[in-house]
Amino acid sequence: MRKLSILVGLITLTLGLITPARAATPGAMSQAQASAACEAFFGVAAGPEPLSACQWDMRTIEAGAASYANATGDGVTVGVIDGGVDMTHPDLVANLDVARSCSFIFDDTPTAAPQEIANGDCSNKAAVQDLQGHGTHVATTIAGSVNGVGIAGVAPDATIVALKACTIVGFCFVDSVAAALRYAGDQRLDVVNLSLFADPFLYYCHNDADQRAMLKQMKNAAKYAQQRGVVIVAAAGNEAQDLGHPEFDDLSPDWPPDTAEVRRVTNACRVTPAELPGVIAVSAVGVNELAGYSNVGGSTVDVTAPGGDAVQTPGTTFGRILAGWSSTDETGNWEALAATGRGVEDANGARWVWISGTSMASPHVAGVAALIREVRPGWSPSAVAAAVRRSAEPVACPTDWPVDDPRDCTGGAWSNTFYGAGMVNALNASSL
């Protein structure tokens, strides 16, 4: 999930969920304005949803009418382990399983807002509400409804189960993430998406007892979920590093504040959940090539998917990924995004924003996994993961990659360190 550049420090927290503003936010576009701008930029026609012209990402992975004719995720449950979801968002409300959604933010979770603390008490539904927007963005990418509003997701009829493990300011601590994974196993969800790395360490190293214990906690939770049929999809990360040959970690620990130090790391250290056994790890591309921020790594990255990269579309925001945002964003991010032309708002206060990251790439793959789950419901998590890779479109290493970029692409079109088995493909996957 984290830590998006628009998250700037801790914020003053209020005690109740704010009422969504119904007046247009300064700078925000209407759906019609955004659609017209995207039609002109991409040279595509409007529809089927009001913001479909902006969804270059769905066109890239062939998610749309043809794939929907084969599978839409109907009957498939996808857990979104993130910062909650906006339970009133029009692209989610029809697909959200509120009864099974739950917050795993605890009394002792650092940076938590009081209203998102539930200690795993799943009867506290208010705690699941997204107080920022990241989880809503992820969930709508997976399962945005085809309903004449906003966007369409990869698997528009899949059921979303919101599992809050990340706080309002984007920290996703091991205790919360592991608890959410175990709950996903208990509920026997079909797929879970983790657009995050588990705090407080980026790399967990075996030569440190505390890190070793936390890594074991994550491994055991993931294994428990997988043994109960859960396909786990995770973002590779946004540090522009080669996870196959790590050298330095200057982010850890990221909590408590100001305790991070530069340390040397090796392959004995692991990013979690991306480098956990059996997890489908996802790198990110922009409209042209690998995103400038995306982690890579031949032993880690399984497939790639659109995550957006505005640098590849100079002068416009449209090279990022457009998806839903929370109407109860208490961080100020929504206002900042709208002010810079990166927000869309309808007359009822529903919101969509353009942002980038491997966080945005991963849910495309989770959506494709949901399509496979629908057409092949008896397959094991490992069989689904293999099908995700097998149905991907091969992408060869770039021939003109900058020599000063430390990420080096090796391998052939069918398997390389940048793109894994290639670009995830919804049409191929739904045709298995």
Q: Decide the pairing of beta strands 280-285 and 231-235.
A: parallel
The whole-number pLDDT of residue 1 equals 54
The whole-number pLDDT of residue 325 equals 98
| 45: number of Cβ within 10 Å | 10
Output the pTM of the full model: 0.95
The whole-number pLDDT of residue 21 equals 39
Q: Give me the CATH code for the 31-397+409-430 domain, please.
A: 3.40.50.200
Give CA–CA dist 348/355, Å, rounded. 22
* Structure-block tokens of residue 406: 């430390």
CB 283 within 8 Å of CB 420: yes
Give CA–CA dist 64/129, Å, rounded. 29
The whole-number pLDDT of residue 3 equals 45
Q: Which of 80, 95, 185, 173 is nearest to 128 (CA)?
A: 80
Q: What is the mean pLDDT of each run of 10 residues along the chain (432 residues)?
A: 37 33 78 97 93 98 98 98 98 98 98 98 98 98 98 98 98 98 98 98 97 98 98 98 95 97 95 98 97 94 98 96 98 97 96 98 99 98 98 96 93 96 98 96
